[in-house]
Each structure stands twice: as structure tokens, then as C-alpha cells.
Amino acid sequence: MTKTTLFKQDGIPSFRPPADAIEVRPAGARSGTVPQSGAETSEMVDPFGRHISYLRVSVTDRCDFRCVYCMAEDMEFLPKRDLLTLEELDRLSSTFIAKGVRKLRLTGGEPLVRKNIMYLIRSLSRHLETGALEELTLTTNGSQLKRFAGELADAGVRRLNVSIDTLDADKFRQITRWGELKKVMEGIDAAQDAGLHVKLNAVALKDFNEDEIPAMIEWAHSRGMDMTLIETMPMGEIDEDRTDRYLPLSQVRRDLSSRWTLTDIPFKTGGPARYVNIAETGGRLGFITPMTHNFCESCNRVRVTCTGTLFMCLGQEDAVDLREPLRASEGNELLAREIDRAISHKPKGHDFVIDRTTRSPSVSRHMSVTGG
């Protein structure tokens, strides 16, 4: 008889099968453990021929910051009872991996504020060991990195993205409402000391950080970090008018090109960024441009929320509930069929619009719900 071990998840005793009993291998590979049906292992190809190989999982909608372009100050978060358990997040992610996902990114909210998050990360790392998963990574605000950097590296995480929009402590507090720049800087130091490759993400904001962008790039590249600039996206009601902050990255690139030599390069991390090399700084700079030049034609990504809702597109409301099939059976066949049904309806692209005549957000949910 297979032995199970007792553990506590979110404070609740439960049973978890040993890792070798739930091993997942790449789609089509032979496994000496649990047999899987064709539905569970079939690759995911959408109606436009795009192979879905990248999954972003939001493990919580909660965050210890309240960034003004992302959240309202008085956010109402989901009741904890509505969230998938860590074991369910593991099982859901593992089903996607069996169906061909090669890169898995954990997001939030802030993923590192989820209770016992390292249990999930350590468990998912078994797929790195089998070769079923190429990369397990996170997007974080950096506030908890000083505490977790070493554990993340030990669990097989090799790189992560840190979201930071300014290097000015006062402006950092202004944009995050609650954040402390010093803690984030200490977190970046800890991550680099642990051997993690850090990439910085910065939302380009008019009349806030546009004058800082060159200095931020120089600082990042001097530390051996890539940097990616992101256009603000019309998601969820916030406390200000996004048109006041919207800064087209086409304009930013023109400004940077007058200062430095930017050369397009084919470098990819699996996400939507298009990269250039800057000769004078010796580093890479990415541009994520959902507004000025959407990246939909090469989209290989889907997103799952902490409640098990699958969004096939960040900029569309269409979604499929995976929590019900996940909980309806101990096997994964029902879940795999719902995933296939969802992928068959993945749209060609998003409908993001930011202008003075379009007052409401393109989608009603906040960025923290789907994790970017």
C-alpha cells in the first residue's frame, strides 16, 4: 500500500501522496506512475494555431502594496474560503504541465504573502527535476524577498521579476501607498546574493517616472539586471483617470534612442516583451506594449486565478471555471476536458483602449485578480 504523509495546509490537516505518486512528465512521455488519459496529456493549441506552453497562476489576490494604477486604496479581497488550497493549485498546475505547459509563473497580488507559499513552490519543483517543466518563476513586488530568496533558490527557482516603478523613496511610497523602497532594495540584494537572476518591471507613467527611466535603466544594467517597461493597462476601477498617466512606449523608445544606441534582438523569456540591447549600458531592455503595439499574434499564455478561473486572454472577460471540475473528481480527466474546451475558445487578441472618450476600463477585474 502506498504510504501517505500528514501535513498542515493553511492550518488544516490533510493527506498528500508522495511526490513519486503524482509525477507528471511532458505530454506524450511514458510514465511509470499514474496512467493518464489522452485528454489529460493532449497538447493545447488554440483556434489560431498558437501552442499554449506558458501558464501564469495567481496564488492570491491580496497584496501588501496598493499601487495606484493597479488597485483602489480600499480594496475588497476575496474571502479566504473561496481560494483554491495549495494542494489544489498544485494539482491544477500539474494538469497543465501534463498538457504541455513548459513555463510556470506564480503571481498575485503578491504571491509571497500567501500563507505557506513555499510548500507549493517546493512541491511544483518536482516537475523541474523530471524535466516536464523548463522554468518555475515568480513576479513579486520584492517586499518579502529578503525572507524568501534563499528558499526560492533552493527550490529550483532561477529567475524572478521584481516590479518597481521608481528609485525615489518618497515617490515609491506615493505610487505604492504603503510600500517601503528600502525593503525592496534589501530583497533585490538578497535575491542576487542567492544566485537568482532578477529582472525589473516598471510601468511607464506620464508625469511620474518618465524622467527617471534612463537612470533606472543604468542602475539595473550596472547590477546585471535586465529591465522591462510596461504600458499601463485599463483593468479595473481605480482612484484616478488612467489617461492622465498613460505614456506610450513608442514615445519612450524614441526618447531613449536619442540618448543611446538601441538594437532589436530576438531574445525571449516566454512572455510578451520585445527586447533591445543598449550598447552604452551593455544590458537588455524590454518593451511590453499592449496599447501601442499589441503582442497577441504570438500569445502562448493563459492565466488562472486563485479561485480556479481560467482567463484565456488578459484583456477579455471570457473565462472558464476550473474549480468545479477540479473538485468534482479525484482524477484529472474532467479538469483536462474543461481546459481543452477553454483553449478552443481563446480569442485572437485583446480589446484594450485608453482614451478620453472611453471612461470605463476595458475589463472590470483588477490586475491583481489575474496577476498580469
Feature table: binding site for [4Fe-4S] cluster: 63, 67, 70, 296, 299, 313
CA distance 220 to 125: 28
47 CB-near residues (< 8 Å, 6+ apart): 344, 345, 346
CA distance 333 to 91: 12
Phi, psi for 332 (deg, rounded to 5): -110, 5
Phi, psi for 26 (deg, rounded to 5): -55, 150
Residue type, 222: S
211 CB-near residues (< 8 Å, 6+ apart): none
Question: What b/e sequence results for 21-35 when a residue is b if at least 16 CB atoms lie within 10 Å of its CB, and e otherwise?
Answer: eebbbbbeeeeeeee
Short-list 232, 204, 229, 206, CA closest to 315: 232
Feature table: binding site for S-adenosyl-L-methionine: 69, 109, 163, 233
207 CB-near residues (< 8 Å, 6+ apart): 244, 245
Feature table: binding site for GTP: 56, 105, 139, 199, 301-303
End-to-end distance of the chain based on CA atoms, in angstroms? 43
133 CB-near residues (< 8 Å, 6+ apart): 97, 101, 102, 103, 104, 124, 127
Residue type, 126: R
Q: Which DSSP state fits 51?
A: B
CA distance 196 to 160: 7
Instruction: Please answer whether residues 113 and 82 qualify as being in contact, where contact means their C-beta atoms are separated by less than 8 angstroms.
Output: no
Q: Which DSSP state fits 338?
A: H
Feature table: binding site: 56, 63, 67, 69-70, 105, 109, 139, 163, 199, 233, 296, 299, 301-303, 313
CA distance 8 to 28: 34
